[in-house]
Amino acid sequence: MNGLALLFKFMTRLPFPGGNKFDSKALGNSMKWFPIVGLIIGVINFIVAGLLETVIPSPVLMGILLVTLDVIITGGLHLDGLADTFDGIFSYRSKQKMLEIMKDSRVGTNGVLVLVLYFIFKIAFLVEASELFGVSQGVIMLIVPVLSRISGVINCAFEPYARPTGMGKTFVENTDKLGAGIAYGTVAAILYGVSGYFGLPYLNLFLVLNILSISGFLFGKLMTKKIGGITGDTLGALLELSSVLSLVLIYIFL
């Protein structure tokens, strides 16, 4: 429970009881429960959407507010990783130089471009998927944070850490294949419950889960080839890319 509390405090800005004593191993071991963090975020998204839908009739405005809420809850932590990763990887420099660029707090052109495209694609596919299938944006944004967190756990279980030190190393060193399996099973179970409650096609969502898992695994292999492993920045980037990809896949398969 201490590890789970630490994970909530590290990955979100949500108040959570416990976790007052920092334990790097407990934090690293808790990565297998990362989808639970996504579930809590998703429930908040669902509740807020339910409260706002009676006073905000515009689907686009609702989409903007829900995506903004997601950023507020996480404190923009993963978006920072997304920008840094694209600045580094698309600099087409040596591995060491890429890592240096990613560590730089300044945001470059590639980082700005990917952030702009991220918000455009995320809001557009959220609105379109909701309109096309008659599913509320709140339900979709309940599912997406859960789906998007499986890839990071898989990366931590299968890929090395690219730097000698770093907070992300804690997760990599303490997440194994069993932990990835637990995270995968947790996501599958949550999807089963949500699909049953809201009348969504479970097999379609299960297909989305598997595509995300495979694409996340391949992303990790690409990062290892490019920079010798994964980092906290690439994990953040993967989470945000997975959230967009999950919306695209929901739009295609739901």
Give yes or no for a contact between 254 and 128, defined as CB atoms under 8 angstroms apart: no
Q: What is the mean pLDDT of residues 193-214?
A: 96
- Residue 248's CB is within 10 A of a number of other CB atoms, namely 17
Radius of gyration from C-alpha coordinates of the chain: 17
pLDDT 10s digits, 140-195: 999 999 999 999 999 999 999 999 888 789 999 999 999 999 999 999 999 999 99
Q: Is residue 223 part of a domain?
A: yes
Tell me, what's the pLDDT at 202? 96
Q: 196 is in which domain, residue-wise? A: 32-253
Task: Find the farthest-apart pair of alpha carbons in the chain and give their distance in angstroms, rounded.
Answer: 53
Phi, psi of 161 (to 5 degrees): -90, 140
Provide the domain count of the chain.
Answer: 1
Please tell me the pTM assigned to this model: 0.94
pLDDT at residue 63 greater than cutoff 90:
yes
Q: Is residue 96 part of a domain?
A: yes
Q: Is residue 13 part of a domain?
A: no
The CA distance from 120 to 243, in Å, is 13
**Residues comprising the chain, all counted:** 254
Q: Is residue 21 part of a domain?
A: no
Q: Is residue 230 part of a domain?
A: yes
DSSP alpha helices (H): ranges in 109-201? 109-133, 137-147, 150-158, 167-174, 177-198
